[in-house]
Amino acid sequence: MNQCDWQGATARIPWRPALSFSSSPFVTILHFLYKIMAVHGPFVKIHPVVLASIVDSYERRNEGASRVIGTLLGTADKHSVEVTNCFSVPHNESEDEVAVDMEFAKNMYELHKKVSPSEVIIGWYATGYDITEHSVLIHEYYSREAPNPIHMTVDTALQSNKMNIRAYVSSQMGVPGKTVGVMFTPLTIKYIYYDTERIGVDLLQRTRASPSRTNGLTTDLAQVASAAGHVQEMLSTMLSYIEDVLSGKVMADNSVGRYLMDLVNKVPKITAEDFESMLNSNINDLLMVTYLANLTQAQIALNEKLVVL
Amino acid sequence: FENGKTQLFNSRGVVLKIIKHYQEEGQGSEVVQGVLLGLVVEDRLEITNCFPFPQHTEDDVDFDEVQYQMEMMRSLRHVNIDHLHVGWYQSTYYGSFVSRALLDSQFSYQHAIEESVVLIYDPIKTAQGSLCLKAYRLTPKLMEICKEKDFSPEALKKACIGYEHMLEEVPIVIKNSHLINVLLLDLQEKSTVADKPELLNLSSSNHLEKSLQLLMDRVDGMSQEIVKYNTYCRNLTKQQQQKQQYLQRRQQENTQRQSRGEPPLPEEDINKMFKPPQAPPRMDTLLIAGQVNNYCQNIKAFTSQNLGKLFMAEALQGHSS
């Protein structure tokens, strides 16, 4: 079954229900499992858009609801799972029972499928810190929808002063044949971005720094200026590090030294005249293009005026 | 409404969703589109959510767009997401979005909801280092013209519309909530640093070539339109002259006949004889002019960026040499 793929989770002890009941081969196999577990585990790659949607739906929750749940969509392959989209599902939770609107979940999934047919349901998320018994029930439902679903929790209540984002997969527990329980084993999470996504997130990080939490999109030249400022900051950090090493305050690290060598060698060594000529020709090209663009604009403006005559 | 609604508040989820949608679905020069949802607050338009439209495929003939939209909005209402339609977004290829289709769609949106905007997302420019997202709205003058559907030169002359007054740009502001700030903080700690700051990339000739090529195509189209208009003008004046000549001849003949005592020739309907030539619709010309203007501005911004980068490179060389 697919559960075998997920057994390589880190740090917890998954029990294999298909094993025999005698203890000694069981123990050796357990040792073996420990070894492979420590090496690698299945990853969950999350796109930031998913997290943003989750936080957004948490902020819009109904009065009285303490947490929000929803479906995760994405793609899964042998070793890792990629979460690319999500939508929230209305649900009601009380002390002893939980009701989730499954019709709604199915509908939304159909609609989403029309836009991106390659996404499938790969799990569900919930806000809040702990995993409750209700989660088990909901998880069971999702296991009917998808093979081996992932459960993700986002701690929006900020219990430990940080937004803990964790992912789990369920595995059977207990002695087979008798009472079986379900245990959630955690998985490692990696954040993955498309290039353009990263740029979007960078912009949002800058928004974070401004006091009124707002930010306009800057003009082009200003962007180059800010990028240059960035590089300057990085250079000054490096310079201070180098000075510390030279004066003996900090131990020299060989790998850092190698990177520095790479960096200095990357600036291409060109003779002054060659560089001058290259620079000038490039600048000439750009100036010519600017001139032509201005000319075209003047032309159409003129044409406009002539027509109106 | 006239000067209000000057700002657009965009919440970060929307930005990311648009980026993701293009990345996954739109390849090459196809456009991806979607709907923007939000609220109108005092003098601001707040965009709080969005959802994408599926691509139009040939084998999907029975797919009903309106129904898809309705279902999405109904479902979103269940989870307390604002379901007021405030606009739509579209991706663009090198800035070529000023087209008839855009005008029509935006007109229908703006007709229904006054403050709606179209968000144009330029993925290629964004990949070069900085998010390129602009919001546009049709000017009130253009709205009127579209309503009348009268695109002849006289009507446009009356309204004094130039290509610069077709679309007005609305400034965008991005707003984060506190919780999202916490999220961002978390993300920043956990994710790896971007390894290529694309913004400082010096190789620009490819992009410049493409833009210039598109500009040239448009200018060609523009010159064709101008030629059409010129021929129309010339035909019009020629026809006027012919009319005059005919009238004069008629007069002469009539006086001759009168002097000979015969009944004058009946006044024929000149208008039927000299049908005025069809005035070419000026709307396309306006659109092309607007597009050319857009291209020029993009190119100028691009070259100024590159000049800055070149000077930086020079400074770097100056140090080491």
Determine the straight-line distance between the first and last CA of chain B, rounded to whole angstroms.
60
Q: Over the stretch A230-250, which tens digit does the pLDDT of each residue have?
A: 778 888 888 888 888 888 777
Q: Over the stretch A47-61, which tens digit does the pLDDT of each residue have?
A: 777 777 777 777 777
Pull the structure tokens for residue B107: 């007109």
Half-sphere exposure of B63 (CA within 13 A, CB side): 15
Question: Mean pLDDT score of chain A, rounded to an integer?
Answer: 69
More confident residue, A287 or B161: A287
Which residues of chain A have a CB within 8 Å of the CB of B282?
307
**Cβ <8 Å between A304 and B162:** yes
pLDDT of the residue at A27: 46
- How large is the ipTM? 0.71
Tracing tokens 């081969």 back to the chain, one arrives at A25
Distance, in Å, from the CA atom of B308 to the CA atom of A192, rounded to the nearest integer, reads 31
For chain B, give every domain's residue range.
Answer: 7-201, 203-320
Pick from A157-171, A203-217, A253-267 the range whose average pLDDT is largest: A253-267
CATH number belonging to domain B7-201: 3.40.140.10
Please answer whether residues A52 and B184 qualify as being in contact, where contact means their C-beta atoms are separated by less than 8 angstroms.
Answer: no
How far does the CA of residue B237 sit from the closest CA of chain A (Å)? 15
Amino acid at B143: M
Please tell me if residue B65 touches chain A, with a CB cutoff of 8 Å.
Answer: no
How far does the CA of residue A1 sit from the closest CA of chain B (Å)? 31
Q: Over the stretch B236-261, which tens digit does the pLDDT of each residue have?
A: 788 888 888 888 888 888 888 888 77
Report CA dihedral (B36, B41, B43, B45) to the nearest 10 degrees: -10
Please answer whether residues A108 and A54 qualify as being in contact, where contact means their C-beta atoms are separated by less than 8 angstroms.
Answer: no
Which 3-state string (H, E, C) describes B226-291? HHHHHHHHHHHHHHHHHHHHHHHHHHHHHHHHHHHCCCCCCCCCHHHHCCCCCCCCCHHHHHHHHH
pTM of the predicted structure, to 2 decimals: 0.67
CA distances from B86 to A115, A290, B46, B91, B143 (A): 21, 37, 9, 17, 17
The partner residue sitting opposite B300, judged by closest CB among A195, A282, A293, is: A293
Q: Look at residue B46 and give its three-state secondary structure.
A: strand
Which residues of chain B have a CB within 8 Å of the CB of A189?
190
Distance, in Å, from the CA atom of B50 to the CA atom of B13, rounded to the nearest integer, reads 9
pLDDT of the residue at A180: 58
**What letter would DSSP give residue B192?**
P
Question: Which residue, among A127, A204, A235, A309, would best test binding to B if mutated, counting the most B CBs under 10 Å from its CB?
Answer: A204
Contacts of A56 (CB under 8 A, 6+ apart): B11, B13, B48, B49, B180
Which residues of chain A have a CB within 8 Å of the CB of B295?
293
Does the pLDDT of residue A15 top 50, yes or no? no
